[in-house]
Amino acid sequence: MRRWVAGITIALVVLIAAAAVVAWYCAKRFQPFVHEQAVRYLEQRFGSQAKLARLRISAPFDSPLAIARTPLRISGEGLVLPYRDRVDLPPLIRVRRFEVEAALGALWQSPRRIGQVRLEGLEINIPPKRLRQASGATAGNLSRAQEAKGISGAMAVLVDTVYAADTLLRIYPDNPAKPPREFEIHQLRLHGAGTGRPLHYTGSLTNWKPRGLIDTSGEFGPWQRDDPGASPLSGRYVFRNADLGTIHGIAGILESTGKFEGVLERIEVRGETRTPDFRLALSGNRVPLTTEFHSIVDGTSGDTLLRPVRAILGRTRFVANGGVVRPEGARARSISLDVLMQNGRIEDLLRLATKARTPVMVGEITLRTRLQILPREIATVEKLLLDGSFNVEKTHFNADGVQDKIDVLSRRAQGQPKNQQIEDVLSAIRGAFLLREGEITFSDLSFRVPGADIDLKGRYGLENERIEMRGTARLQAKVSQTMTGWKRWFLKPADPFFSKHGAGTYLPIRVTGTREKPEFGLDRGKGDTKQNPEEGRQASRRADRGYPTQKLAPQPPRNGTTANF
């Protein structure tokens, strides 16, 4: 009996020793095996030759019988996936440090299952599409090299959860002189990562421009190894505390919600924004702005196209199409919008575009214009360009003394200079304009009040608020009927000289002074605005600063109505 016990004891000792030797051998051979499997998977998954600076493996073999359930922990540093094996491009993926947790037996399952992956210092670089296409031959060579090694098809791996902290996504523009668009992803959590299937994600990131925090969730993938920029992306977002001041020429704090879909290099976004303190830098007046928009973000060029934006500025509704783009030949990106406004309020626009706290006038406006906010190389007052036409109805002036002068004009124009019941008359204004370098040029400005039609050309400065306009006035009354007392009789012989072109009185006029103190009088010159002798030199400077040398957009024929008096 003792011999049997001794034999069994010796056998168990030998068995345990053998198992320990096998475990020691497995542990010794295990690290190179895992290293090879990891590199092999990364090369197959991303189509690139992986480089790994350091790899450490921890797998405590507590029981040889439970080896399949042994927890496996893999950590590493300096993981780099070059882009198509090209040294002239930034690496596709770079990871400063990573940790992987799985069960040891999962490495021999199909598909292999990873419980958790943690990444620190993840960088993803998306080069321009033209460079990605040029590297297609390299990708083909890599695939053939993998086939030569007997590697056919991607290794099936499922990852339950991926945590990434301090991730940086860079999308490089087509212009090599321009910096990449960078998206700082603070926290990113991915679920269900596997070959050929999308993964679910939640995360928060800092947007580039306008700068602000975005919380987002949705689906990403499957990863397109031959063209990473074509990897699908969709989800919903909440954009908080976006500082519009990071876009030169405008300011305000924006909130936005919406959804998006597309691929990394081109994403379509539909959403809405709320900016209670929207303003232009040149004026500083705050006007609430809300929008509903459809935009297309081109990650390769950095352009954002708006198709369309439906907005409410104050009480004024309008539709805009355009985007934040870099025009051909320009050195920097600008905001460019085609705006159509119907039945809007002129006071909302004046608050936005001028420094005056109280708008000079109120009334209904129809507006069609091209709006541009130019690059930062230009002084603030010169950033805003407008080129269009407008029609303002039922206008009343707020500026001190202006409405009184309009009332006097209407009384005299109707031949009733003493009729005090003619007061607070409504005006109608329409015209074509060009705002450039802080100055509005009116090429065709018509002003109507009961009894008078006035046509003007001239300029108005946004900074100095000075007015310089010339034109003609057509009055319903004859020149003598505009006066009272002895002047009325004294001017009667002059009536035939001023009654021309079908008007009771036809006069060349001039409007000068400032917005607060305009001066109206007869024009002793030719009745037309003279061309600025500096215009040629100014045009050259505008071209150097990024201004369009031609009109920004062709304007349709005016078909707006004017008030009938």
The pLDDT tens digits of the residues spanning 154-202 come to 556 777 888 888 888 887 877 777 778 788 888 888 887 656 678 898 9
Domain check: are 390 and 257 in the same one? no
**Residue 96 CB partners (closer than 8 Å, separation 6+):** 77, 78, 120, 121, 122
Lowest mean per-residue pLDDT among 79-88, 236-245, 289-298: 79-88
The pLDDT value given to residue 465: 82
Lowest mean per-residue pLDDT among 42-56, 173-187, 285-299, 476-490: 42-56
The pLDDT value given to residue 48: 62
Q: Which is more confident, 294 or 47? A: 294
Of 263, 295, 321, the last residue of a domain is 263
Confidence of residue 382 (pLDDT cuts 50, 70, 90): low
The pLDDT value given to residue 53: 81
**Structure-token pair, residue 22:** 């096998």
Confidence of residue 34 (pLDDT cuts 50, 70, 90): low
User: In Å, how far are 239, 280, 313, 356 from 276, measured between CA atoms?
Assistant: 15, 13, 10, 19
| Helices 136-148 & 2-46 angle (0-180, nearest 10) | 160
- Among 47, 263, 232, residue whose Cα is nearest residue 136: 47
Domain check: are 255 and 309 in the same one? no
Hey, which of 145-149, 247-251, 323-327 has the most confident mean pLDDT? 247-251
**Residue in the structure block whose two tokens are 């799985």:** 102
E strand residue ranges, 221-315: 232-243, 250-251, 253-263, 266-280, 287-298, 304-313
State mean pLDDT over 105-126.
Answer: 78
Domain check: are 256 and 370 in the same one? no
Domain check: are 131 and 191 in the same one? yes
The pLDDT value given to residue 464: 79
Q: Which is more confident, 454 or 373? A: 454
460's enclosing H/E stretch is strand 452-461
User: In Å, how far are 4, 232, 269, 304, 311 from 214, measured between CA atoms?
Assistant: 74, 19, 14, 17, 22
**Structure-token pair, residue 159:** 């990852």
Domain check: are 250 and 314 in the same one? no
- The percent of residues in the chain predicted with pLDDT above 90, rounded, is 26
**Does position 46 have pLDDT exceeding 60, yes or no?**
no
Q: How far is CA 50 from the centre of its chain?
A: 36
Domain check: are 206 and 322 in the same one? no
Q: Is 314 a member of any domain? A: yes
For strand 181-194 and strand 199-207, is the pairing parallel, antiparallel, or unpaired? Answer: antiparallel
Domain check: are 354 and 258 in the same one? no
Asked if 441 and 469 touch (Cβ cutoff 8 Å), the reply is no
The pLDDT value given to residue 68: 53
Domain check: are 422 and 320 in the same one? yes
Amino acid at 509: I
Domain check: are 218 and 329 in the same one? no
**Does position 254 have pLDDT exceeding 50, yes or no?**
yes
**Does position 16 have pLDDT exceeding 70, yes or no?**
no
User: In Å, how far are 171, 237, 356, 387, 457 from 184, measured between CA atoms?
Assistant: 12, 15, 40, 38, 51
State mean pLDDT over 412-426.
Answer: 92
- Which pTM was predicted? 0.66
Query: What is the number of domains present in the chain?
Result: 2
Q: Give me the helices (H) in 393-498, please.
A: 402-413, 485-490, 495-498
**Does position 306 have pLDDT exceeding 90, yes or no?**
no
**Does position 336 have pLDDT exceeding 50, yes or no?**
yes
114's enclosing H/E stretch is strand 112-126
**Does position 248 have pLDDT exceeding 80, yes or no?**
no
Asked if 208 and 164 touch (Cβ cutoff 8 Å), the reply is no
Q: Is 75 a member of any domain? A: yes
Q: Is 158 a member of any domain? A: yes
Domain check: are 519 and 459 in the same one? yes
Confidence of residue 330 (pLDDT cuts 50, 70, 90): low
The pLDDT value given to residue 32: 65
The pLDDT value given to residue 156: 67
**Does position 559 have pLDDT exceeding 60, yes or no?**
no
Whole-angstrom Cα distance, residue 137 to residue 387?
49
Q: Is 273 a member of any domain? A: no
Asked if 510 and 523 touch (Cβ cutoff 8 Å), the reply is yes
The pLDDT value given to residue 69: 60
Lowest mean per-residue pLDDT among 203-207, 277-281, 460-464: 460-464
**Residue in the structure block whose two tokens are 């020793």:** 17
348's enclosing H/E stretch is helix 346-353
Domain that holds residue 332: 303-545
Secondary structure (DSSP) of 412-429: HHTT-TT-TT--S--EEE
Confidence of residue 8 (pLDDT cuts 50, 70, 90): very low
- Among 278, 319, 310, residue whose Cα is nearest residue 292: 310
pLDDT (tens digit per residue) in 540-549? 444 444 444 4
The pLDDT value given to residue 372: 80
Asked if 71 and 103 touch (Cβ cutoff 8 Å), the reply is yes
Q: Is 291 a member of any domain? A: no
Q: Rounded mean pLDDT of the chain?
A: 76
Over its C-alpha atoms, the chain yields an Rg (Å, rounded) of 37
Confidence of residue 377 (pLDDT cuts 50, 70, 90): low
Whole-angstrom Cα distance, residue 24 to residue 19?
8
Of 263, 295, 320, the last residue of a domain is 263
Asked if 69 and 105 touch (Cβ cutoff 8 Å), the reply is yes
Confidence of residue 287 (pLDDT cuts 50, 70, 90): very high
Domain check: are 245 and 310 in the same one? no
**Residue in the structure block whose two tokens are 């001066």:** 519
The pLDDT value given to residue 36: 66
**Residue in the structure block whose two tokens are 């598909």:** 111
State mean pLDDT over 396-425.
Answer: 88
Cβ neighbour number for residue 441 with a 10 Å cutoff: 18
Domain check: are 256 and 311 in the same one? no
Confidence of residue 5 (pLDDT cuts 50, 70, 90): very low
**Does position 560 have pLDDT exceeding 50, yes or no?**
no
Whole-angstrom Cα distance, residue 494 to residue 504?
12
The pLDDT value given to residue 78: 86
Confidence of residue 140 (pLDDT cuts 50, 70, 90): very low
The pLDDT value given to residue 9: 42
pLDDT (tens digit per residue) in 496-532? 989 988 899 998 989 898 877 888 788 876 544 444 4
